[in-house]
Structure 1
Amino acid sequence: MGETTVRRIVYETCEVIWEVLSPIVMPPPTKEIWGHISSRIWDKWQYPNALGAMDGKHVVFEKPGGSGSTFFNYKKEFSVALLALVDADYKFVVVDVGAHGRTSDGAVFFRSRLGKMLTEGTLDIPVPKSLPNEPEIVLPHVIVADEAFPLQENIMRPYPGPQVVNNERNKIYNYRHSRFRRESENAFGVISKKFRIYRRKLQISPDNLDKVILATTCLHNFLCGDDEYLWQPGKLEASVESLRLEDIPRIGGRPSDVAYAVREQLKTYFVSRAGSVIWCTEEGDNYPVILKPSC
């Protein structure tokens, strides 16, 4: 068969994979699904009321003919954005693909399906819930993200660098935050490890690229129950370094007072007896702070 025929078969197959498999392995989250995800995140990563870890990457490809600067990103390459929300087990909960590489910092998130649903209140997230071991503290459910995303009532990002210096409480919060948030980076590492197309600059049209990305996210969820696909310390770092997936830059905007208050309450909870995680030294002394995983 000719190259054009093979390409058409591949793209049509990717489209069918998304249409048939996504309702099974990536169904639209309901309150029940969110509740299960949140419970799993607490059990595995001890971050309460979390809906998932969010991250965004640019998938780099060759400049499409006649596209001008539409897909030209801040790193001077051509790309489309992949925005993903990841659960406690490296599975994609929600993905949004196709934002142009030149899209402004804030628009990558706010124009995404996830961003619109969160803003419009149609994400069907559970009502605010009391924190584990602290029934009197009721907080909203949140998405855990890095500095590229805005601090909002339902989106938590770490304290900026200057606020961490000489501030042990802020440092502890940032550690607990990043401890779970890195799940999203690990998920991108897993998907790039298994689908090598992400490790080079692709020669593909934007419409077909969207189909390929969506298909790989479905196949990732379908396969990640296999131990071979689960992240292990030291297993994927080299792959992550060589990705053709590039970070989405920071998003500006002033957080609301409610967003600041939610993060402050989470910080207070993390350093309290009820919310602290026991860590220990080699000698066996216990501390509710950041040392090493509990012996």
Structure 2
Amino acid sequence: MDASVAIALVLALDSDKPPGKRRKWSKDFFLKRETYGHVNLLQELRVNEPEDFHNFLRMNAPSFDELLGLVEPLIRKEDTVMRPSISLSERLSITLRYLASGNSFEDLKFLTARSPQAIGKLVIDTCEAIILCLNRHFLMPKTPEEWIMTSDAFKLAWHFPNFLGAINGKHIPIKKPVKSGSFYFNYKKFFSIVLMGVVNANYEFTMADVGVNGRVSDGGVISVTEFGRRLEEAALNFLEPEPIVHNGRNIPYVFVADDAFAMSEKLLKPYGGKLYHDQRVFNYRLSRVRRISENAFGILSARFGVIRNTIQLEPEKAPTITLACCYLHNFLCKKSKRYLRGGNVDWEDSNYNVQTGDWREGQHQLEGLGICRSRHIGEVARGVQDSYRQYFCREGRVPWQDAKIEQ
């Protein structure tokens, strides 16, 4: 058969077939995003409903504008011949809504009239920009003078001398990574990565380390962080403090933690077992400052739903999301009067009774690390613990502590 005749026959046969459904370049409502997207809604909230604007993005309009100015150089994209780039304001607002709500990219496409693929890309890019731009709000003290300022703030607010920070660790839920087995499966029976942080007297993170697999659920997690290595190697650059001499022994600078971590001479924990009066006093005084980290993590999870829901991303991307929330937490601690206003965090009334913060009413608080099973406590570490215990019961005594340990 002649080739031209064969081609004509094929075309004739094809013409008899009903026309197939053509694949769309874009969904219709994506093309009408000026009508259906959230940008117009956000503008309406900014002008007429500032409270709802705050709830939508977890910050007020001035804070949003300041943050936008900081990240703008890093998230700006050029228009192409195919389509205009997503505006800077839209990129940031989509990212903040994702962090606040924890909704999936698939769900956010209905709010934003953007494809889940575009949302996923811009969220990671913007979170990376947030981390870079807010670095000045997230600094571990680097000089002896800065450590002294940190210690003085704790002494003034919490009557705890030579104290440098409260350490805590939480599990951040993630979807099961492909072919990961039980590597990320924690003792609470879900998949996670670990967020470990150090918190100062103002409820701000001075250090956060994210990404250790959830299976590491005891005190060993601190040893694989940069902070833990520097603490162990005495490389945090704080000097020995002016001595608080008691019973012939100086009281050094310390951090505090709960039972998830192993005690050392620089990391204090509560006494365990059957306790006598002075040990209960020590535990009470320690619990007051340790509550700072509990509140910081509690506020973080209450404000940013993405970290208390299961992050539907690979373990390589989930730390970026989590760190961005920590950086925004510090930014808002400084910029927003309402972020830590009375009632949001635990507080003590005039009789030093603890009134619980609003964040504790949530049903999805972050899971803590498992208890460290090591019972060995070195002689030097025990000596530091005992020195603080003696100090709190004598010259460092506060008048209400005996009543509190009897309650």
SS in 1 for 2:316: helix
Q: Which runs of 5+ in 1 are unaligned?
A: 280-287
TM-score, normalised to structure 2, is: 0.65
Q: Which residue of 2 aligns with 1:15?
A: 128
| Corresponding residue for residue 242 of structure 1 | 364
- Partners in 1 of 2:172 and 2:141 — Cα distance? 25
Equivalent residue in structure 1 for 2:327, among 211, 214, 218: 218
Q: How many Å apart are 1:257 and its aligned residue? A: 0.5
Q: Does 1:94 align with 2:94?
A: no
Q: What residue in structure 1 maps to residue 384 of structure 2?
A: 262
Q: 2:264 aligns with which of 152, 177, 182?
A: 152
Q: Secondary structure at the match of 1:222?
A: helix
Deviation at 1:114, TM superposition (A): 1.4
Which has the bigger relative contact order, CA under 8 A and spacing at least 6? Answer: 1
Say whether residues 1:251 and 2:372 are aligned partners.
yes
Q: Which residue of 2 aligns with 1:285?
A: none
| Matching residue within 271, 274, 281 for 1:163 | 274
- How many Å apart are 1:134 and its aligned residue? 6.3
TM-score normalized by the length of structure 1? 0.88
2 CA distance for matches of 1:157 and 1:258? 14
- The answer to whether structure 1 residue 229 and structure 2 residue 339 are counterparts is yes
Q: Structure 1 residue 35: deviation in Å? A: 1.1
Q: Is the 8 A contact 1:38 1:49 kept in 2?
A: yes
CA RMSD of aligned residues (A): 1.9
- Alignment partners' CA distance in 1, 2:189 and 2:217: 14
Alignment partners' CA distance in 1, 2:247 and 2:141: 26
- Give the equivalent residue in structure 2 for 1:277: 398
How many angstroms does 1:187 deviate by? 0.3
Q: Quick one: which amino acid aligns to residue 157 of structure 1?
A: K
Q: Deviations over 1:97-147 (max 9, x none)?
A: 10001125243111111111111121122314323x969752211001111
Does 1:120 pair with 2:206?
no
Preserved CA contact (<8 Å) 2:172 2:195: yes
Q: Relative to total residues, which structure has the larger strand share, 1 or 2?
A: 1
Given that residues 159 and 170 in structure 1 are in contact (C-alpha distance below 8 angstroms), is that contact kept between their aligned partners in structure 2?
A: yes
Aligned-residue identity in percent: 36
Q: Find the residue that maps to 1:236 and give its secondary structure.
A: helix
Q: Which amino acid aligns with 1:98?
A: G
Counterpart AA for 2:298: G
- 1:111 matched to 2:220? The reply is no
Give SS of 2:209's match: strand
- Matching of residue 178 in structure 1 with residue 287 in structure 2: yes
The residue identity in structure 2 corresponding to 1:126 is L
* Count of matched residue pairs: 276
Alpha-carbon distance between aligned partners in 2 of 1:290 and 1:263, rounded to the nearest angstrom? 22
CA distance in structure 2 between the aligned counterparts of 1:67 and 1:129, rounded to whole angstroms: 50
Q: 1:134-191, CA deviations, whole angstroms, 9 ceiling, x for partnerless residues? A: 697522110011111111010000001x232xx1111000000001101101001111
Change (3 A) 1:138 1:41: same
Q: Which of 157, 177, 180 is residue 64 of structure 1 equivalent to?
A: 177
Q: Secondary structure at the match of 2:250?
A: strand
Higher-Rg member (1/2): 2
Distance in 2 of aligned mates of 1:151 and 1:28: 21
Partners of 2:133 and 2:168 in 1: CA distance: 25
Q: Is the 8 A contact 2:172 2:308 kept in 1?
A: no
The 5-angstrom pairing of residues 29-40 of structure 1 reads: 29-30=141-142, 31-40=144-153
Shift of 1:63: 0.6
- Report the equivalent of 1:50: 163
Deviation at 1:201, TM superposition (A): 1.8
